[in-house]
Amino acid sequence: MVKLSDNMRGALMMMGAMTAFTLNDAAMKAVGEVAPLFQVLFLRGVITSILLLALTIYLRQLRGRLPQREWGLIALRSLAEVGAAWFFLTALFNLPIANVSAILQSLPLTVTLAGALFLGENVGWRRFVAILIGFVGVLMIIQPGGDEFTIHSVYALASVACVTVRDLAARRMNAAVPSVFISMVAAMSVTAFAGAGAVFVEWQPLDSSGILLVVASATFVIFGYIFSVSSMRVGEIGFVTPFRYTSLLVALILGAVIFGTFPDALTLLGAAIVVATGIFTLLRELRLRQAGPSVTPPTRP
């Protein structure tokens, strides 16, 4: 029996995480065809919040006494999570899953750029050029002015902006604040938002398959979170992180097999550009961190 290295195990966990997150997207998109967004988001949120609360208690990571600064960052992150969930799922319910996933691959670029603009992180000219090229790839995906361009394409971009804010808030948090606790607060915030919205929509009855999709969606989210955290703790970040783009491949397969949609050539080319520049940005950041304090961006708290 071949023993896997830590990097290989980390890579497999990252691939599992991205597959789980994308399966969650597919389940939400499928059930969204028979029920309104707020209903689906609320039902999934209740299940996810309960599971995360149980996990937080089990790991003894439930926190009440935190500095005001940390609670402010948790609140900002949770608010951004709410916006990301609403914008992303609205786009997902109205666009092909592969297109939305391709736009989401620009996150490493937006987080790097935002870190330079708002946190004073050191970003050299090579990464700035990569970011600009990556944004050209995003434009090729959404194709402004084209027949496929709608307001929902803008919603997908808005979800990227919200996730960027979420990740920047996480960068500023003290490492002593448990990640599971942070995720639990965010999940409860999204659930509360969805519950408020669900009051004003007409709920639709769900058959056994619809209920199964909601439960599966919540389960995939939890496994995606666990695998993603584990992958970073097992393998080297530089080796493991590029495997996050597994989500795009899975989205392409699910879109074609389940939803009967497949991106056009321009969208695929744009996605390839975004992935390539994203990988370059991640690897470049890792190399700078390993080079020494003089050229290393500020470490995440």
43 in a domain, yes or no? yes
Q: How far apart are CA 9 and CA 232, in angstroms?
A: 10
* Residue 299, pLDDT score: 29
Decide: helix, strand or coil at residue 119. Answer: coil
The number of domains in the chain is 1
71 in a domain, yes or no? yes
245 in a domain, yes or no? yes
Say yes or no to pLDDT of 148 above 80.
no
Mean pLDDT of the chain: 88
Residues 44/188, Cβ–Cβ less than 8 Å: no
Q: How far apart are CA 190 and CA 35, in angstroms?
A: 18
Q: How far apart are CA 262 and CA 95, in angstroms?
A: 11
- Residues 184-223: tens digit of each pLDDT: 999 999 999 999 999 999 999 999 999 999 999 999 988 8
Say yes or no to pLDDT of 94 above 80.
yes
297 in a domain, yes or no? no
Q: Could you tell me what percent of the chain has a pLDDT over 90?
A: 61
202 in a domain, yes or no? yes
Can you give the residue range of the structural domain that contains 111? 6-291
Say yes or no to pLDDT of 301 above 50.
no
48 in a domain, yes or no? yes
Q: What is the dihedral of CA 233, 79, 24, 183, to 10 degrees?
A: 30
Residues 216/27, Cβ–Cβ less than 8 Å: yes
Residues in contact with 73: Cβ distance below 8 Å, sequence separation at least 6, in sequence order: 169, 170, 172, 173
| pLDDT tier at 297, thresholds 50, 70, 90 | very low
- Residues 100-132: tens digit of each pLDDT: 999 999 988 998 898 888 888 788 888 899 999
**How many CA within 13 A on the CB side of residue 203?**
14
Give residue 194's identity as a one-letter amino acid code.
A
Decide: helix, strand or coil at residue 106. Answer: coil
221 in a domain, yes or no? yes
Say yes or no to pLDDT of 293 above 70.
no
- Residues 8-59: tens digit of each pLDDT: 888 899 899 999 999 999 999 999 999 999 999 999 999 999 999 999 999 9
